[in-house]
């Protein structure tokens, strides 16, 4: 921060809470300035004083940049009332000075809503959302969002474009990193946790940030995993799979939604009235506002849904997009559209009211400026929480011969691989503000915390994940002489996932595969750590390694977290939030699929078992791939620990339930291993026959349970029968009576089950 603007900021902080003194009216017309009045009265009063231009200005969100020209341009636009919200404001000083213009120089003193992509931390970076989902720990996730809000709001940011709650079942799609994976229930639980964390307990607190549920809706189903592509989700699938996390966000009080880039079945999300208005407002009663994704209103022309930008403005607005991000079609065409009767004054007023309501709810009229201290960033408490999240997000995929944790006998290790000391890449996608200088890598952590007792030899072998230069591999292989174990950290640089970073091949990039292969031939215990933004097809590396820890880009404190896991100070407890495919050709592959007519049963004939010139037959064949079988590399919900968890004695409290009942399901969970560890116990159900086909398994509950060696406990799930409801043949949500199975276990492939019935 430079000293001149620093002074401005200091002034702003001192100003604190303000009496609004916009150049406009006073007296009875000032009711909207009175914080004791109900929000709706304030909205109505303010709206009644606004000109049409000022109203249209509220619907306009602009991206800001730095420099004096930007200050001049944006000051002018804001003072005229032409901008309702800013994104990408360079820093706290710009934020406060733009706010000051809005409050002091615009006619009615309406604050601008300052927004940003604060996705998995602001300065203190938490694991990417996919990693946070792997914790199956809503408290940790809520805390991460709260900390992000505390840090971001200290720079004036009061609205984040998160949570991203797109169900994603295709790891080719780079944006799978930003969401919570493939599962409806897990994503819904995380959705609520993040909304609560970002928004806090008191919306008017200067540390609260409005959340934005995105991308509404279906974006995760982008055809062939290619970004900005079309989706084809029929209404029932939309309602049963893609909408529930968004409905949960609404129930949690999420203040805003973002319409997505995709066209679903021919209708771009930003022009989809059925979703944006009929469902969101009509069915769910949402009363916040909808912002378009960046330029997505204007891009309805690219989709071929609108002939020109004016028509795009009309269709976007009439569908229910209140605020337009960046493309400027509303500001350019709304008046004309109103004159021509193509949009209505009532709808403009309603959209403006939706936006003003959120501004009032956030207390922005009373506290427009930064009041929280700047030094909250990277506090010890925040770093500790980021570390805890990184510990809990790491997934132990393999641990032959109890290679991990490394024993006290290990005195000399080789640390290798391009992600072992990658400060930037460890933070993952969507990081605008986290500073790589603050990242603690595995190399740092091993040296700082374990280097006293253990001799750490570091030979990265490759400069970065895509590095194809194999010269360093020989150096790493040479360095294994005399070491007790090798830790290889491979994966993806952060830029290989996230928006617009899709892949058609999910194998390790560059020469990383060769590095692991070469290390596996050295005969030393090989621990492979993968840092990535998606599940990669790493069967070969899993086979070649003794132990594999998967750490979706773990953020600022990933290094200390992994070091403690590797040396057993912590036990891994993360579970896969998404199925790991064996081969990219299996994608999309997810556990909660429908059975199909001939489900695979494990007796399949594989490619190399087919006789030459075998006769044409489909008899006895089931649904699988000749070259990949039918199962994944790792199923959803999978993850080992340093304990050994066994499930037994599943029981339910009745054989037959009625629709108003709550099912009480129990199982005994025992840690028969040698280490204290945490298991995520999971509850799944199957509805065997419905008015439409139902998934073979659906997650309906999970609980983290910590047990000492030899300890047993009863895990108990209380599942309301109403949670079995789905949208059936009549497109109404209800529980259909019949036969069900209930499982309790450690992943979606669990076998311990019991049948039950739901009566009419
Ligand atoms: C486009 C992305 O799709 C969205 O997720 C993000 O919030 C906006 N740009 C703003 O940066």
**Chain segment 180-190, per-residue pLDDT in tens:** 999 999 999 99
Token pair in block for residue 632: 């994944």
Q: Could you write out the DSSP letters of every residue in 122-155?
A: SSSBPPPHHHHHHTT-HHHHHHHHHHHHHHHHTT
Beta bridge partners of 361: none
Alpha-carbon dihedral angle through residues 228, 230, 235, 236, given to the nearest 10 degrees: -90
Using pLDDT thresholds of 50, 70 and 90, give the confidence band for residue 80. very high
The whole-angstrom separation of Cα 284 and Cα 274 is 12
How far is residue 678's CA from residue 48's CA, in Å, rounded to a whole number? 58
Calculate how far, in angstroms, residue 293's C-alpha sits from the geometric centre of ligand 1.
6
Q: How much is the pLDDT for 28?
A: 60
pTM exceeding the 0.95 threshold for the entire prediction: yes
- Find the 323 Cα to ligand 1 centroid distance in Å: 14
Distance from residue 5's CA to the centre of ligand 1 (Å): 28
Residue located nearest, by CA, to atom 7 of ligand 1:
161
157 CA from centroid of ligand 1 (Å): 16
Q: Does residue 499 have its Cβ closer than 6 Å to ligand 1?
A: yes
CA–centroid distance, residue 641 to ligand 1 (Å): 36
- Pocket residue to mutate for ligand 1, from 258, 259, 433, most atoms within 8 A of Cβ: 258
Ligand 1 centroid–CA 584 distance in Å is 27
C-alpha 117 – ligand 1 centre gap (Å): 7
Count of CA atoms in the C-beta half-sphere (13 A) of 537: 20
pLDDT at 246 over 90: yes
Residues 253, 633: Cα–Cα separation, whole Å: 38
What is the model's pLDDT at position 269? 98
172 CA distance to ligand 1 middle (Å): 19
Q: For the segment 253-306, what is each residue's pLDDT rounded down to a tens digit?
A: 999 999 999 999 999 999 999 999 999 999 999 999 999 999 999 999 999 999
* Residue 159 near ligand 1, beta carbon < 6 Å: no
Contacts 24+ apart (CB under 8 A), 466-475: 466/493, 466/496, 466/509, 466/510, 467/418, 467/510, 467/511, 468/510, 468/511, 469/511, 470/511, 470/514, 473/511, 473/514, 473/515, 473/518, 474/518
At residue 14 the predicted structure's pLDDT band, cuts being 50, 70 and 90, is: very low
Mean pLDDT of the chain: 95
For the chain, helix, strand, coil in percent to 5 are 35, 20, 45
CB of 161 within 6 A of ligand 1: the answer is yes
Which pLDDT belongs to residue 372? 87
Structure tokens at 485: 């174990």
Token pair recorded at residue 182: 């493939």
3 state DSSP class of 528: strand
Residue 15 has pLDDT above 70, yes or no: no
Compute the average pLDDT of residues 419-441.
98
More confidently predicted of 26 and 430: 430
Distances (CA, A) of 539 to 31, 173, 506, 545, 582: 65, 20, 11, 10, 6
71 C-alpha to center of ligand 1: Å?
Answer: 23
How many angstroms is it from 670 CA to the middle of ligand 1? Answer: 45
Please name every residue paired with 212 in a beta bridge, in sequence order, or none if there are none.
256
Per-residue model confidence (pLDDT) at position 741: 98
Q: How many helices (H) and strands (E) does the chain have?
A: 20, 26
If you average pLDDT over residues 544-560, what whole number do you get?
99
Treating both helix axes as pointing N-terminal to C-terminal, what angle do 345-361 and 329-339 enclose, rounded to 10 degrees? Answer: 140
- Report the atom number in ligand 1 closest to the C-alpha of 162: 7
Which residue, judged by its Cα, is nearest atom 9 of ligand 1?
294
pLDDT exceeds 60 at position 16: no
Confidence check: pLDDT of 46 > 50: yes
Q: What is the pLDDT of residue 481?
A: 96
Does residue 692 surpass a pLDDT of 60?
Answer: yes
pLDDT of residue 617: 86
Reported as a pLDDT band with limits 50, 70 and 90, residue 545 is very high
Query: Is the Cα dihedral 371, 375, 379, 383 positive or negative?
Result: positive
Q: With 60 as the cut, is the pLDDT of residue 19 above it?
A: no
Please give the pLDDT value at position 12: 35
Q: Give pLDDT tens digits for 131-190.
A: 999 999 999 999 999 999 999 999 999 999 999 999 999 999 999 999 999 999 999 999
Tokens of 528: 């492979």
pLDDT exceeds 50 at position 379: yes
Distance of CA 66 to the CA centre of its chain: 29
Calculate what percentage of the chain has a pLDDT beyond 90: 94
pLDDT digits (tens, 9 = 90+) for 443-471: 999 999 999 999 999 999 999 999 999 99
Measured distance CA(557)–CA(49) in Å, rounded: 50
**Over 60: is that where the pLDDT of 23 sits?**
no
**What average pLDDT does range 16-44 have in this prediction?**
72
Q: What span, in angstroms and rounded, lies between the C-alpha atoms of 264 and 270?
A: 10
* Strand pairing class (656-657; 753-758): parallel
Going by C-beta distance under 8 Å and a sequence separation of 6 or more, which residues neighbour residue 650? 665, 666, 667, 742, 743, 744, 752, 753, 754
Confirm or reject: Cβ of 293 under 6 Å from ligand 1: yes
- What is the C-alpha end-to-end distance of the chain, expressed in Å? 67
What is residue 618's predicted lDDT score, i.e. its pLDDT?
Answer: 85
For a pocket test of ligand 1, which of 294, 321, 430, 432 has the largest count of ligand atoms closer than 8 A to its C-beta?
A: 294
Nearest CA to ligand 1 atom 3: 293
Task: Summarize pLDDT for 484-521 with one digit per residue, the tens.
Answer: 999 999 999 999 999 999 999 999 999 999 999 999 99
- How far does the centroid of ligand 1 lie from the alpha carbon of residue 418, in Å? 29
Q: State mean pLDDT over 197-221.
A: 98
Tell me the average pLDDT across 648-659.
98
Cα gap 497→170, rounded to integer Å: 12
Q: Catalytic positions, please?
A: 293
Cross-strand partners of 547: 399, 527
Question: Are 725 and 244 spatial neighbours (Cβ–Cβ below 8 Å)?
Answer: no
Measured CA to CA, the distance from residue 279 to residue 283 in angstroms comes to 5
| Residue owning tokens 């830029």 | 495
8 Å CB contact between 637 and 578: no
Find all residues with CB under 8 Å of 48, minimum gap 6, and list them: none
Q: How far apart are CA 411 and CA 1, in angstroms?
A: 45
Find out whether the peptide bond into 25 is cis, omega within 30 degrees of 0.
no
Contact 411, 450 (CB under 8 A): no
User: Which protein residue has the closest C-alpha to ligand 1 atom 4?
Assistant: 293
What is the pLDDT at residue 609?
92
**Probe target for ligand 1 pocket from 212, 229, 296, 325, with the most ligand atoms within 8 Å of CB:** 325
Going from the Cα of 88 to the center of ligand 1, the distance in angstroms, rounded, reads 11
How far lies 107's CA from each of 7, 24, 103, 111, 715, in Å?
A: 26, 5, 9, 11, 61
Cα of 410 from ligand 1 centre, angstroms: 46
Query: From the CB of 294, is ligand 1 less than 6 Å away?
Result: yes
**In this model, does residue 645 exceed pLDDT 80?**
yes
Provide the pLDDT for residue 619. Answer: 75
Q: Is the CB of 117 under 6 A from ligand 1?
A: yes
- What is the pLDDT confidence band of residue 316, given thresholds at 50, 70 and 90? very high
Ligand 1 atom with least separation from CA of 215: 5
Ligand 1: atom nearest CA of 214 is 5
For residue 88, which atom of ligand 1 is closest to its CA?
A: 11
**Tokens 């956030």 appear where?**
362
Question: Please, which pLDDT band fits residue 8 given cuts at 50, 70 and 90?
Answer: very low
Distances (CA, A) of 685 to 102, 275, 579, 756: 53, 29, 18, 10
Contacts of 105 (CB under 8 A, 6+ apart): 23, 75, 78, 79
Residue owning the nearest CA to atom 1 of ligand 1: 294
Return the higher-pLDDT residue of 308 and 12: 308
């Amino acid at each position: 921060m430079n000293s001149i603007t620093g002074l401005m900021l200091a002034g702003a902080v001192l100003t604190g809470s303000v009496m609004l003194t916009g150049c406009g009216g006073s007296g009875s017309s000032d009711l909207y300035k009175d914080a004791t009045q109900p929000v709706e009265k304030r909205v109505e009063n303010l709206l009644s004083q606004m000109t049409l231009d000022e109203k249209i200005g509220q619907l306009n969100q602009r991206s800001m940049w730095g420099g004096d020209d930007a200050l001049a341009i944006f000051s002018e636009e804001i003072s005229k009332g032409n901008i309702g919200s800013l994104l990408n404001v360079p820093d706290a000083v710009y934020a406060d000075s733009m706010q000051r213009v809005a409050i002091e120089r615009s006619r009615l003193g309406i604050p601008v809503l300052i927004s940003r992509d604060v996705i998995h931390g602001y300065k203190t970076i938490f694991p990417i959302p996919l990693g946070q989902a792997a914790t199956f720990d809503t408290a940790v996730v809520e805390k991460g969002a709260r900390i992000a809000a505390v840090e971001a709001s200290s720079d004036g940011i009061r609205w984040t474009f998160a949570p991203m709650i797109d169900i994603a079942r295709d790891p080719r799609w780079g944006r799978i990193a930003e969401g919570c994976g493939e599962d409806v229930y897990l994503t819904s639980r995380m959705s609520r946790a993040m909304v609560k964390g970002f928004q806090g307990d008191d919306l008017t607190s200067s540390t609260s940030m409005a959340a934005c549920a995105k991308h509404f809706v279906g974006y995760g189903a982008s055809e062939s995993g290619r970004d900005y592509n079309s989706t084809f989700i029929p209404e029932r699938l939309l309602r049963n799979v893609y909408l529930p996390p968004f409905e949960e966000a609404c129930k949690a009080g999420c203040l805003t939604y973002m319409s997505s880039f995709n066209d679903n079945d021919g209708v771009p999300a930003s022009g989809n009235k059925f979703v944006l208005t009929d469902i969101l407002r009509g069915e769910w009663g949402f009363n916040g506002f909808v912002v378009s994704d960046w330029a997505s209103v204007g891009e309805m022309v690219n989709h071929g849904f609108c002939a020109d930008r004016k028509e795009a403005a009309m269709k976007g607005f009439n569908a229910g997009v209140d605020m337009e991000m960046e493309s400027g079609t509303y500001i350019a065409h709304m008046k004309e559209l109103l004159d021509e009767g193509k949009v209505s004054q009532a709808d403009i007023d309603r959209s403006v009211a939706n936006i003003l309501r959120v501004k009032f709810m956030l207390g922005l009229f009373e506290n427009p400026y930064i009041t929280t201290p700047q030094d909250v960033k990277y506090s010890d408490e925040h770093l500790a929480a980021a570390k805890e999240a990184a510990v809990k997000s790491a997934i132990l995929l393999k641990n032959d011969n109890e290679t991990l944790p490394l024993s006290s006998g290990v005195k000399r290790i080789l640390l290798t691989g391009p992600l072992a000391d990658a400060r930037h890449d460890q933070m993952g996608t969507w990081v605008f503000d986290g500073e790589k200088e603050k990242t603690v890598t595995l190399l740092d952590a091993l040296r700082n915390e374990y280097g006293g007792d253990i001799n750490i030899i570091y030979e990265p072998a490759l400069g970065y994940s895509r590095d194809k230069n194999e010269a360093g591999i020989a150096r790493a292989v040479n360095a294994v002489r005399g070491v007790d174990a090798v830790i290889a950290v491979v994966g993806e640089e952060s830029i290989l996932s996230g928006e617009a970073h899709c892949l058609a091949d999910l194998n390790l990039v560059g020469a990383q595969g060769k590095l692991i292969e070469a290390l596996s031939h050295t005969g030393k215990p090989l621990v492979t750590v993968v840092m990535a933004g998606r599940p990669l097809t790493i069967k070969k590396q899993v086979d070649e390694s003794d132990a594999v820890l998967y750490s979706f880009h773990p953020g600022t404190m990933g290094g200390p977290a992994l070091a403690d896991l590797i040396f057993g100070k912590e036990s891994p407890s993360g579970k896969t939030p998404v199925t790991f495919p064996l081969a990219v050709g299996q994608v999309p592959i997810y556990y909660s699929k429908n059975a199909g007519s001939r489900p695979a049963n494990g007796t399949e004939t594989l490619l190399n078992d087919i006789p030459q010139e075998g006769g044409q037959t489909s008899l006895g064949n089931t649904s699988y791939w000749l070259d990949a079988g039918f199962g994944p590399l790792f199923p959803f919900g999978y993850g080992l620990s340093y304990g050994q968890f066994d499930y037994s004695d599943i029981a339910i409290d009745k054989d037959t339930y009625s629709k108003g009942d709550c099912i009480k399901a129990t199982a005994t969970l025992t840690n028969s291993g040698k280490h204290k560890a945490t298991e995520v116990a999971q509850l799944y159900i199957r509805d065997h026959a419905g008015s439409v086909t139902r998934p073979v398994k659906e997650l309906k509950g999970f609980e983290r349970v910590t047990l000492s060696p030899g300890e047993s406990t009863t895990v108990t799930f209380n599942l309301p029968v109403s949670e079995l409801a789905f949208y059936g043949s009549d497109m109404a949500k209800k529980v259909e009576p019949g036969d069900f199975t209930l499982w309790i276990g450690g992943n979606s492939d669990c076998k311990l089950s019991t049948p039950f019935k739901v009566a009419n």
